[in-house]
Structure 1
Amino acid sequence: MATPTTGVRGARLTQAAGWTALTFGAVHMLVTPWDTRAVWSAALSDGWWNSFTLNVSTTFAAAKQSEAFWLTLGSFGVPMILTGALVVRAARRDERVPEAIGWGTLAWGILLTTSLPASPGWALPVIGGLLIAGDRLRRRAAGE
């Protein structure tokens, strides 16, 4: 049975998913550059333009530089921040975030965490689950 609080709970779950994604991305983008600061310092001193490559690394230094790129600029940190902000905005404006977004995030999280269990990727199934639950509650409150 739908009650007025069902929609509110759904919005809160959706907003929690957004804040989790935003926090996950922000922490990733703050911590990882700190951990790879020596590599970034070397890349900046060598000159920013074309300082990273997609070529197969032939030296340890090149491999470390490539790893630093994929852990920061090439990572999903910034898209998670942007997606989280969009989800929080939608929830605050009483707009639904489609359940399919939650299912996609959940599937991505399952692939990530089963291939690399010792990672912060466990936030993704949580975010996906919150989006699914939030949308279902909001649809129930709307009588859909």
Structure 2
Amino acid sequence: MTRWAGWILQSLGLLHLVVLGAQNTQYFGDWLTGALWNLPREEFVHPAGAAGAFWVSIGSFALPLILLGALVLSLARREVRVPPFIGWALTAWAFVGAAIMEPTPMILVLVPAVLLIRAGKDRPVASR
């Protein structure tokens, strides 16, 4: 179950990066020329254009989600239990995100979250 959770987390993060990155390719040049440096405060409050594209792609939680999935997979390969609070935190994040914005694919995070919660209950913590 833990390995599945890790693969799903990585897949969701990668899918987010690829889909939203592909939809915003016209801004890549702006990012590389420093157009996002010294933005006015308004651009942080209401990001649009190159700034908005940055926050929905590379500046989003997609990369940390990929890294969390890699960590979960690494722990599973070493047979180290992932603490159930990780699954519970992902559950809360998915519900809050879904409550704020519907429809959202964020609810899909519940799948690996439940897998991590269940896996944590099935295996005791290894003693050292």
Quote the residue 2:77 is aligned against: 92
Q: Percent identity?
A: 32
Tell me by how many angstroms 1:111 deviates. 0.2
Quote the residue 2:90 is aligned against: 105
State the alpha-carbon separation in 1 of the partners of residues 113 and 40 from structure 2. Answer: 31
Quote the residue 2:3 is aligned against: 15
Aligned residue identity for 2:8: T
Q: Counterpart of 1:139 in 2: which secondary structure? A: coil
Q: Relative contact order (alpha carbons < 8 A, sep ≥ 6): 1 or 2 greater?
A: 1
Quote the residue 1:29 is aligned against: 17
State the alpha-carbon separation in 2 of the partners of residues 38 and 71 from structure 1. Answer: 14
Aligned residue identity for 2:62: G
TM-score (norm 2): 0.85
State the alpha-carbon separation in 2 of the partners of residues 15 and 36 from structure 1. Answer: 32
Moved over 6 A (4+): none
**Cα RMSD between the aligned structures?**
2.3
Tell me by how many angstroms 1:68 deviates. 0.2
Tell me by how many angstroms 1:87 deviates. 0.1
State the alpha-carbon separation in 1 of the partners of residues 50 and 60 from structure 2. Answer: 14
Aligned residue identity for 2:39: T
* Aligned CA distance change for structure 1 residues 128 and 72 (closer, same or farther; 3 Å): same
Q: Which stretch shifts more, 100-109 or 64-73?
A: 64-73
In structure 2, stretches of 5+ residues that fail to align are none
Quote the residue 1:129 is aligned against: 114
Aligned residue identity for 2:76: A
How many residues matched? 124
Tell me by how many angstroms 1:108 deviates. 0.6
Quote the residue 1:56 is aligned against: 42
TM-score (norm 1): 0.76
Higher gyration radius (CA) = 1
Q: Is the Cα–Cα contact under 8 Å of residues 94 and 106 in structure 2 kept in the other structure? A: yes
* Aligned CA distance change for structure 1 residues 52 and 76 (closer, same or farther; 3 Å): farther
State the alpha-carbon separation in 1 of the partners of residues 27 and 35 from structure 2. Answer: 15
State the alpha-carbon separation in 2 of the partners of residues 70 and 52 from structure 1. Answer: 16
